[in-house]
Chain A
Amino acid sequence: MTEKTNTITLSDRVKDIAKDFGLPRLIITGFLVLLLVVSPFVGADLPTQISNIINRFSWNGILVLAMVPMVHSGCGLNFGLPLGIISGLLGATLSIELGFSGAFSFLMAILLATPFALVFGCIYGWLLNKIKGGEMMIATYVGFSSVSLMCMMWLLLPYHSPNMVWGMAGKGLRTTISLEGYYTQALAKILQINIGNLSIPTGSILFFALLAFGMWAFLHTKTGTAMTAVGSNPEFARSSGVNVDKIRLISVVMSTWLAAIGILVYEQGFGFIQLYMAPFYMALPAVSAILIGGASVNKASVMNVIIGTILFQGIVTMTPTVMNNMIHLDMSEVIRIIVSNGMILYALTRKTEETK
């Protein structure tokens, strides 16, 4: 009898933990752990794998961090991330066009991207304030329209730097621009640690940590608390004297700016600027990463960002190598599509105040 009740409470407790953690998240974590355990046996080098994961974490972390402010202010997941990415790309290309080089060009790219991000973010935030309740769908299409508009602009804007334009025509930017001689590895090289096959881009991680700490600190300031209040109960926030529209605008501008910085950090790790249709689907991996980390449509923390990015990038980097070594079959792309979109779908179908 007692044994029976014990097992029930135990299984209940396990169920409770699973419920708290979310079943999909549990499966994904289990899957990643399995991959890590299996990888040495199928002949993949574990230190290389781990440094791959850390590297990709440092590339993508800030793009995922950009989700946090808008989720907090109740604007939902920022599917309009490409808009911020475009600001970053404008900063990057302008920095090269103006002739800056080396690590200094990275700093200039950030400085040049900032005004674009602020202006675009303001317009975007103003728009989202007009259409409260339908943010996510419109954000998606604002992102798409801006990317396709910029496709024309990259061809038409008067760029001349020979490192960026098409060789034959002498105008129109190339689809991929190498950052060799500019800011490739600008952050990663700072204090880089190399132990055998394991290499850690300390600079990039410190930069991420700085921004993440900034975000955490911001959320504990007066404005940050107001933001959380607006997100969890706009009516209550309004009645306690918070300017809801202004707070939402701030969150959108922050998110856009972080996306701009995020893409620059991504580029310094990757070594290339990708233009035209490249930013098109960049929102989806970032969205699913933060969701895998335990965020929901209206709740997200810096911890969710860190855990989510590690899990998501872990799966993205580990599956191809392990799968290839095991069954000579690269299904990673398909798995990535199913996992990331399945995760977004899971989050969208959770019950919230709106959908009840």
Chain B
Amino acid sequence: MNKINYSDYLRRFSVPLMFVIICAVCAPISGLSPSYLCNEIVTRMGRNAFLILSLLIPIMAGMGLNFSMTLGAMAGEIGLILVSDWQIVGIPGMILAMIVSVPISALLGLFCGKVLNMAKGREMITSYIISFFINGIYQLIVLYLMGPVIPIKHSNIKLPRGYGIRNTVSLLSMRQKLDNLIPLNIGGVKIPVATFIIIFLLCLVIIWFRKTKLGQDMRAVGQDMGVARDSGIDVERTRIISMVLSTVFAGIGMIIYLQNMGNIATYSSHSQIGMFCIAALLVGGASVEKASIGNVFLGIILFHTMFIVAPKAGTVITGDSMIGEYFRVFVSYAVITVALIMYETNKRKNKSKAGEQLALAQEEANE
């Protein structure tokens, strides 16, 4: 019995363990100082945690990894673009951007939830394609409609041709304003206290949300849609709400992310964000059907350590800087692939186990 538990644990933590080994091997080779590493990880924790936390709710509702969190990211970017055109700076600008982004995210989340309700059983691939589809609409709006339809006054964010937004929009006026709101420096490591407070609040909200009626409903839907429906839960509505919440949080998370970066890459900031956030969450030991807040933070530490040290270590070992770059992209994709494969094989195993149990029960009944 003990042995089974042991191997079970080993499998559950195999991905984090593998990453600990990768990091432990690559970190000394890369030659980066520990204080630099600490600094980077703390910065990245502040930058990414909110975004990754937004993934937890759809997992709870049994909708798998929300590849369409990109939708929220796009809404956040639209908010920031508009606010930087209105020239509202600093924290008020950020708050206004969040206010602008929330209705857009909510609408997109609603759309996404409705579409996913039509594609039950293949939510992940559908949410993945939705992110591409909405990316097209986003480009249509930002590249062609901003200017002639949506008024953009300032030419420094417009393309030279007179409409559409430049490839990069500078957020100098609100760069790291939130991070530096409450300055704190421990042993040369800069800690973005205000950002961490917001992240902590979101964690509390998620913990509280799990205990509410709606949160319980969501978990019931995640366990078994049929049973949930029989017990009087509006399954479709619950699923839509989980998508709306996730998208809204992702939008706010993107604004926090971009205030740390200090500029928006208008057409590419959001495209990779979903993939990296999902990979980080999975590295932290989460699976497609189960993820906790602890997974988020462990994931950020391990994944981003790998992210920082891999290119350097790659350069030192092979003498080619591109190898490390490609390596970390490969690892991100490979982690997601392995997690998906494990999820599907487990699902099948459980199904056959349930079948066996049913057969046993029937045999017993016959006897």
Contact = CB atoms under 8 A, between A and B. Distances in A.
Interface stretch (B53-61, B93-101, B112-120, B194-202): B112-120
A133 B348 CA distance: 9
Contacts of A345: 115, 126, 129-130, 133
Nearest to A148: B330
A345 B126 CA distance: 7
Contacts of A172: 320
Contact residues on B (Cβ < 8 Å of other chain), bracket: 35 or more
A292 to B, nearest CB: 14
B340 A137 contact: yes
Contact of B326 (A79, A152, A355): A152
Contacts of A354: 121-122
B343 A134 contact: yes
Interface in B151-180: none
Contacts of A151: 326, 329-330
B333 interface: yes
B356 interface: no
A15 to B, nearest CB: 21
A334 B130 contact: no
Contacts of B115: 345, 349
A257 to B, nearest CB: 22
B87 interface: no
B348 A140 contact: no
B229 to A, nearest CB: 14
Nearest to A336: B136
Contacts of B139: 333-334, 337
A138 B323 contact: no
A217 interface: no
Contact of A148 (B140, B143, B333): B333
A165 B330 CA distance: 22
Contact of B136 (A136, A141, A337): A337
A141 B121 contact: no
A334 B133 CA distance: 10
A155 B334 CA distance: 19
Interface stretch (A124-132, A187-195, A258-266): A124-132
Contact of A141 (B120, B137, B322, B337): B337
Contacts of A341: 129, 132-133, 136
A134 B133 contact: no
Given A131-B348, A134-B340, A345-B126, A156 B323 contact: yes
B119 A127 contact: no
Contacts of B128: 137, 140
B341 interface: yes
B91 interface: no
A133 B344 contact: yes
B343 A348 contact: no
B361 interface: no
Contact of B122 (A137, A141, A149): A137
A349 B144 contact: no
B330 A149 contact: yes
Contacts of A331: 140, 144
B327 interface: yes
Contacts of B318: 156
A136 B135 contact: no
A345 B124 CA distance: 12
A338 to B, nearest CB: 4
B347 interface: yes
A151 B325 CA distance: 10
A124 to B, nearest CB: 12
Nearest to A333: B139
Contacts of A132: 348
Contacts of A106: none
A342 to B, nearest CB: 6
B336 interface: yes
B207 interface: no
A8 interface: no
B33 interface: no
B125 interface: yes
B132 A136 contact: no
A355 B136 contact: no
A338 B348 contact: no
B137 A338 contact: yes
A24 to B, nearest CB: 12
B330 A131 contact: no
Contacts of A333: 139
A46 interface: no
A137 to B, nearest CB: 5
A196 to B, nearest CB: 36
Contact of B125 (A130, A137, A334, A338): A137
Contacts of A177: none
A52 B358 CA distance: 60
B327 A329 contact: no
B212 interface: no
B329 to A, nearest CB: 5
Contacts of A342: 133, 136
Contacts of B130: 345
A158 to B, nearest CB: 13
B171 to A, nearest CB: 25
Given A145-B333, A151-B329, A338-B136, A127 B129 contact: no
Given A334-B136, A338-B136, A342-B133, 19 more contacts: A133-B344, A133-B348, A138-B344, A141-B333, A145-B333, A145-B337, A148-B333, A148-B334, A155-B322, A156-B318, A172-B320, A334-B139, A338-B133, A341-B136, A345-B126, A348-B119, A348-B126, A349-B126, A355-B122
